[in-house]
Structure 1
Amino acid sequence: MLYDSRVRHVRTARQRYALDHRTYYWLVDLDALPVLPRPLRPLAGFRGRDHFDGAGPTIRAGLDRFLAGQGAAPARGRVLMLAQARVFGYVFNPLSVYWCHDEDGALRQVVAEVHNTYGGRHAYLLGPEAARDAAADKAFYVSPFLPVAGRYRMRLPTPGERLDLTVHLDLDAARAFTATVKGVGRPCTLPALAAAALRHPLAPLAATLAIRFHGIRLYLRGLPVVPRNRHQPQEGMK
């Protein structure tokens, strides 16, 4: 499934600022990743090295290693991943989400994997309640203008016809940041992929450039930079 999506960030800590970004996301089964005709393969690649510790032969292997490192049971059924694909050799996923099911189809775990523009990764094991509402302490440096502090509240329901994800960050007993990802799904046909790629060329690179552009604007507005701390890799992560 492909989702033509709108990503919106609203920060309210220290200085109010909002941004909108249009892109598209893939929803894929980790055991049945799409294989495109050879001429179109540069438009969508899914590689184990792009997620979790990057050492597994597949994304599913990386997920299983992460779950084991967190003391969680492996995903024994279907795993759906929402992410951007590698496009012309480049990939960047500010947020990837995994919905892990048992053999009976019941949702057992939700994992939110966050990447920053400095090459780091961190995953949050949220449990099935994340489909409605889940909380996790912030443990990873993402924005240079927000400290590694506070608490996330996430609502990450499994996408259907529509995609509707929300992440809040509460800091010092106040809402500091909200990110939403909303989209409309369509079957991943070759014409649909070609249309998405034409509307959003080099989508992962565009996301990286947008983050850097808005970061520069905030810096020029005088927002103080929070020094980046050394991130301790998780078990099963870089």
Structure 2
Amino acid sequence: MTRARLVHTVIRHTRLEPVHHAFRYRSYSWLVDLDELPALPWWLRRFADFRTRDRLGDPHATLRHNVEGYLAEHGIDLSGGQILMLGNARVLGYIFDPLTVFWCHDVTGALRCVIAEVHNTYGQRHRYLIPATATAMVDKQFYVSPFNPVTGRYRLRLPAPAERLHLAIALEGTDGRVLFTASVSGRVLAAKPSAVARAVCAHPLETWRIAARIRWQGLRLWARGLPIVPRPSHSPLEALS
């Protein structure tokens, strides 16, 4: 029915400064080829709904068209190569996807670059273009947590998944100290209807749950006295969804 894959994930967040705060939870994500989005039985489609408008770009175009357009702005031409996307789908009409990752290959199959598209809880989105290296550094340009300013840089490891997925992100302050780390790891499995049904039953209304978890952890940090950093005006790339 579909060549898409599911990733049963464990997500970990650790804040190191100015207070120590850590949590982890289990979830699942989709790993899909943008040329072959999931084709599932009718009774599962509302739990795996992929819409272009849930990512940056023209909401009336295809996901592939929007990714290729973004890459063209940076002088990158895949010549029809494969684009893999890791992200969440809409569940019963609702989506929240903190991080969408696109692995962009050229026509020979070589990985040319990675796109990390970050979504915050204020309805804003931003893309980072990552070189195809084992570890990359990018300046932080987007407001995510209300407890961190838009300064410093990210150290990222975003290898393309095979049988397993393991992504790691660290936020470094302007003085080079690590302030925050996050990781996503898990098993990659074929998205057969039975596997999708089991994932939905194990994690019902998962996109709502992810948004609620993030807000709950924010309330816990606020209750501990962590000051809130004002949110700056967004650029056009960070337009409201």
Matched, 1:32 2:36: yes
Check if 1:46 corresponds to 2:59. Answer: no
Cα distance 1:235–1:87, how it changes in 2: closer, same or farther (>3 A)?
Answer: closer
1:228 corresponds in structure 2 to: 231
Aligned to 2:10: 6
Q: Any conservation in 1 of the 2:156–2:168 contact (CA below 8 Å)?
A: yes
Deviation at 1:233, TM superposition (A): 2.3
Give the aligned residue type for 2:109.
G
1:134 and 1:153 in contact (8 A); partners too? yes
Match of 1:70 in 2: 74
Letter in 2 for 1:154: L
Q: Structure 1, residues 125-180: CA drift from partner, whole Å, max 9, x if none?
A: 01211xx1011000000000000000101000111111100011000320001000
Distance 1:233 1:25 in 2: 28
**Match 2:167 to one of 165, 168, 189:** 165
Change beyond 3 A, Cα 1:128–1:56: farther
Aligned residues: 236
How high is the TM-score relative to the length of structure 2? Answer: 0.94
1:88 is aligned to 2:95: no
Find the aligned partners of 1:51 and 1:102 in 2 and give their Cα distance: 22
Distance 1:229 1:54 in 2: 24
User: Retained in 1: the 8 A contact 2:97–2:207?
Assistant: yes
Contact 2:47 2:92 in 1 (8 A): yes
CA contact (8 A) 1:4 1:185 kept: yes
- Mind listing any 5+ residue stretches in structure 1 that lack a counterpart? none
Q: Given the alignment of the two structures, is residue 196 of structure 1 paired with residue 196 of structure 2, yes or no?
A: no
From 136, 139, 156, the equivalent of 2:138 is 136
Match among 170, 174, 177 for residue 174 of structure 1: 177
Q: CA separation of 1:236/1:98 partners in 2, compared to 1, >3 Å: closer, same or farther?
A: farther
Match of 2:189 among 181, 186, 189: 186
> In the aligned structure 2, how far is the partner of 1:49 from the partner of 1:113?
13
> Matches of 1:72 and 1:235 in 2, distance apart?
21
8 A contact 1:3–1:163 mirrored in 2? yes
Identity %: 48
| Rounded Cα–Cα distance in structure 2 between residues aligned with 1:116 and 1:236 | 11
Indicate the residue corresponding to 1:208 in structure 2: 211
Gapped runs of 5+ residues in structure 2? none
Give how far 1:76 is off.
2.6
Cα distance in 2 between the residues matched to 1:112 and 1:208: 19
Cα drift, residue 208 of structure 1:
0.3
Q: Please identify, of 69-78 and 169-178, the stretch whose mean Cα deviation from structure 2 is larger.
A: 69-78
- Give, in whole Å, the separation in 1 of the partners of 2:131 and 2:60: 23
State the shift of 1:236 in Å.
Answer: 10
Query: What is the identity, as a one-letter code, of the residue corresponding to 1:9?
Result: H
Equivalent AA in structure 2 for residue 225 of structure 1: I
